[in-house]
Amino acid sequence: MPVGIGEQVAMFLTQEQESIRELARDFVERELKPVSKPLETGDLDILKSLWGKMAETGLTGLPFPEEFGGAAVDSLSYFLVLEEIARVSAALATSLSVHVSLSGLPILYYGTDAQKQQYLPDLVAGRKIGAFALTEPNAGSDAGAGLTTAAKQGGHYVLNGSKLFISNALIGSVFVTTARTSPDVAGPKGLSAFLIDRDTPGMTITKGDEKMGLLGGDWGELHFDNCKIAESQRLSDEGQGFKLFMRSLNIGRISIGAISLGLAQACLDASVQYAKQREQFGKPIADFQAIQFKLADMALKIEAARNLVYNAARLKEAGKDFALEASMAKLFASEISNECAREAVQIFGGYGYTKDFPVERYFRDARVMTLFEGTSQIQRTIIARSILA
């Protein structure tokens, strides 16, 4: 049993949750670990193959209703899967998170019956992969400042503009995106949400800039040049796009918290194993108090992060307001994953700086967790506003 996943945690998991976690762990051991290194080369064929195997295992549609082919599992079960996958590949876990949390679930929660029937069976089964397009060159943390437009012409909308930093752009089939339907209305109130298929004329997809981490996943840019879509492709009412995405991001924040948690746990597991094997001054470095204190602090903070993430998941499942707890979980877990990755590299010493050991990758992968789904500064702003209100 990995460090930190002991009897205390298992006691509070239902039999179904434990079974789902074991299902994910089996997939990781059987399918993901053997290709984790070649996946880092950015080979999309390997990524697509893993997606096929996730689909076969049933991991692509866990939280969706059975009527669409899903398993109808609870929220925590889904986040446990992300945590397990992230211990070996935060890139694949992120890809799955975007597909479920930011693409499929918005359709489930806000789509019309026709939209659900059109998209969810394929997304749930993994026959199609979902993506989420919000960020623009001028609109990052200020997501409501997007300039991509959707001009209504009869029963259609014509989109012009671009999106960047889009996870799953190169392998995605369905894009949930925002565009400004009210050009005279500045800020979030002028944005609406749309569903766009990959082969829609007027939309082109290009590979994104070279990135620091998550090399096993893809990202890219979307470019709209008089991209014409039917009015029926609008998701929810006009002007509701920003609210829709902000609600979706609350789920996404728990997802990133779970992925960060898996990364942090991987750092601790690797560090414990290495500290027991590595000898200096005639004994394992695990015998030195300086190393012990690092391991103790990592374990302590991981457990604190785990409780925040699991608590946010349970609040969501109970139908309670979980926005504050989602921000807390995402903020703390993402920063702890960075701290644990930094300490893991330090424990490994010079070897931690080489690509022969996984902690170098954990260090790079963890860095983006404080940027995804709202930066740490944005999370602190949300938390502060909530408690001051």
Every domain range in the chain assigned CATH 2.40.110.10: 131-241
* Pair 26, 33: CB distance under 8 Å: no
Question: Which pLDDT does position 8 carry in this prediction?
Answer: 54
Every domain range in the chain assigned CATH 1.10.540.10: 7-128
* Pair 215, 40: CB distance under 8 Å: yes
* Pair 254, 326: CB distance under 8 Å: yes
Residue 149 Ramachandran class (φ > 0 left, ψ -120 to 50 alpha, else beta):
beta
Q: Is the C-alpha dihedral spanning 334, 335, 338, 341 positive or negative?
A: negative
Q: How many CB atoms lie within 10 A of CB 55?
A: 16
The residue among 159, 205, 202, 204 whose CA lies nearest residue 180 is 159
Give φ, ψ of 191 to 5 degrees. -95, 145
DSSP run (H or E) holding 292: helix 289-317
Question: Which pLDDT does position 184 carry in this prediction?
Answer: 83
Question: Which pLDDT does position 145 carry in this prediction?
Answer: 84
The residue among 338, 297, 25 whose CA lies nearest residue 212 is 338
Query: For residues 164 and 190, what is the distance between their CA atoms, to the nearest angstrom?
Result: 20
* Distances in whole angstroms, Cα of residue 281 to Cα of each of 259, 284, 286, 353: 37, 8, 12, 21
- Domain 243-388, what fold? Butyryl-CoA Dehydrogenase, subunit A; domain 3 (1.20.140)
* Pair 75, 56: CB distance under 8 Å: no
* Burial bucket for residue 324 (CB in 10 Å: 0-12, 13-18, 19+): middle
Query: For residues 132 and 103, what is the distance between their CA atoms, to the nearest angstrom?
Result: 6
66 catalytic, yes or no? Answer: no
Question: Which pLDDT does position 5 carry in this prediction?
Answer: 46
- Domain 7-128, what fold? Butyryl-Coa Dehydrogenase, subunit A; domain 1 (1.10.540)
Every domain range in the chain assigned CATH 1.20.140.10: 243-388
Which superfamily is assigned to 131-241 in CATH? Butyryl-CoA Dehydrogenase, subunit A, domain 2 (2.40.110.10)
Its pTM stands at 0.94
* Pair 150, 207: CB distance under 8 Å: no
The tens place of each residue's pLDDT in the chain, 389 residues long, gives: 444 444 455 558 999 999 999 999 999 999 999 999 999 999 999 999 999 999 999 999 999 999 999 999 999 999 999 999 999 999 999 999 999 999 999 999 999 999 999 999 999 999 999 999 999 988 778 878 889 999 999 899 999 999 999 999 999 999 999 999 988 888 888 999 999 999 999 999 999 999 999 999 999 999 999 999 999 999 999 999 988 888 889 999 999 999 999 999 999 999 999 999 999 999 999 999 999 999 999 999 999 999 999 999 999 999 999 999 999 999 999 999 999 999 999 999 999 999 999 999 999 999 999 999 899 999 999 999 999 99
Q: Which of 325, 343, 360, 373 is catalytic?
A: 373
How many residues make up the chain in this entry? 389
